[in-house]
Amino acid sequence: MAPVRTEHAQSLWQPKTLYLNTASYGLPPTPAWGALQAVLVDWRGGCTSWEGWCDATESARASFAQLVGVPIEWVAIGANTSSMIGLMAAALPDGARVVSAEPEFTSLLWPFLAQGRAIEVECVPVAEVADSVDERTDVVAVSIVQSSTGELVDLEAVLEAAAAHNAQVVVDATQACGWLPIDATAVDFLACSAYKWLCSPRGTAFMSVRPELLEQLTPLAAGWYAGEDPHASYYGPPLRLARDARRFDLSPAWFPWIGTAPTLELLLEIGIDAIHEHNLGLANRFRNGLGLPAGDSAIVSAELPEAKERLRGTRVMAAARAGMLRTSWHVYNTDHDVDELLALLNS
């Protein structure tokens, strides 16, 4: 299928505001919205059996594997990031040392802190994560893109440091997947919620697990969908888990997956490289208008004391994080959006 040009793809989204808050939740494209409405009609009328609704889950799994560059056998599906990270945290022995970032999002950090065992968690500035990995480190757990600031971790440096000290790398890609090109083949464990930059309904999430970790992790919420043959796994022993990462699957919430599958297909058609170029161009246009240096993130956090007052009552949808105005620029935003926001802030 030929790539979809970014400017053409924008017609498939219909924001009613100046929407700059994708880092909180993304907006659905028309194909996803239509698919979701159609299945809700079928559900309400009892017009079909449920088995076909799982097809969207498998389509989304395949798309996500392509998006992060891993074999489909590495990908498990779930509902949120923290429950997936919790599998990794629960597998750590007493005395394990985890290096993370500050300020790290709690869905990544708290599963390690909540173990109630002698696990040491050290949080350091994002730029110091790689240098903080040493012979005592068992796991490096960090978001590829920080939620509050948009700062990117030097993932290559983290991977090199972890390899040098035989540590595992666990990443939260929720603020990265959908706009930042990612090769997850070198990452031990990657988790991603789909409702932000992947523009999907809340309630769908993915994780990529290297095959050598399969036996280290316990499928704590295993059910029928984690079976080698899900439709032959409804009842009784013996345990017959899938041989690959599907053993960590949660039974899918049908309707969110119906909206996720066509969205991921569309993002792949547009191309993550093209979306990255588009988003970063808008973010740097905005930075330039504020007198800030160019950056490498689609999230722009800026200390603008008068922003809240100047944007009150306008059509701008943005966020305040850590005392700063946070804007996040995605495929449905335009140069005009940047210029309109700058005009409002300078009024």
Whether the predicted pLDDT of 347 surpasses 90: no
Which of 130, 190, 139 has the alpha carbon at shortest distance from 160? 130
Q: How confident is the model at residue 274 (pLDDT cuts 50, 70, 90)?
A: very high
Q: Which SS3 state, helix, strand or coil, does residue 186 take?
A: helix
Are 145 and 184 within one domain?
yes
Of 252, 268, 284, which closes a domain? Answer: 268
CATH number of the domain within which 111 lies: 3.40.640.10
pLDDT in tens, 120-136: 999 999 999 999 999 99
Are 294 and 308 within one domain?
yes
Q: Tell me the backbone φ, ψ of residue 190, rounded to 5 degrees.
A: -130, 130
Are 255 and 295 within one domain?
no
Which of 230, 227, 260 has the alpha carbon at shortest distance from 241? 227
Are 100 and 117 within one domain?
yes
Distance CA 282, CA 288 (A): 10
Residue at 106 is within a domain: yes
pLDDT in tens, 69-119: 999 999 999 999 999 999 999 999 999 999 999 989 999 999 999 998 789
Residue at 46 is within a domain: no
Residue at 318 is within a domain: yes
Are 168 and 305 within one domain?
no
Whether the predicted pLDDT of 320 surpasses 70: yes
pLDDT at 3: 53
- Answer yes or no: pTM beyond 0.75: yes
Are 276 and 263 within one domain?
no
When pLDDT is averaged across residues 196-223 and rounded to a whole number, the result is 97
Are 259 and 290 within one domain?
no
Residue at 39 is within a domain: no
Are 133 and 248 within one domain?
yes
pLDDT at 2: 45
User: Which is higher by pLDDT, 118 or 293?
Assistant: 293
pLDDT at 8: 76
pLDDT at 1: 39
Residue 207 makes CB contacts below 8 A (sequence gap 6+) with: 75, 76, 78, 84, 189, 190, 191, 192, 245, 248
When pLDDT is averaged across residues 311-333 and rounded to a whole number, the result is 92
Distance CA 103, CA 149 (A): 9
pLDDT at 285: 98
CATH number of the domain within which 324 lies: 3.90.1150.10
The count of structural domains within the chain is: 2
pLDDT in tens, 240-249: 999 999 999 9
When pLDDT is averaged across residues 306-315 and rounded to a whole number, the result is 91
Lowest average pLDDT, out of 198-207, 238-247, 274-283, 303-312, goes to 303-312
Give the domain extent around 214: 51-268
Whether the predicted pLDDT of 47 surpasses 90: yes
pLDDT at 4: 59
Are 200 and 299 within one domain?
no
Of 233, 268, 303, which closes a domain? Answer: 268
Residue at 34 is within a domain: no
The partner residues of 101 in beta bridges, in order of sequence, read 124
Are 261 and 324 within one domain?
no
Are 159 and 239 within one domain?
yes
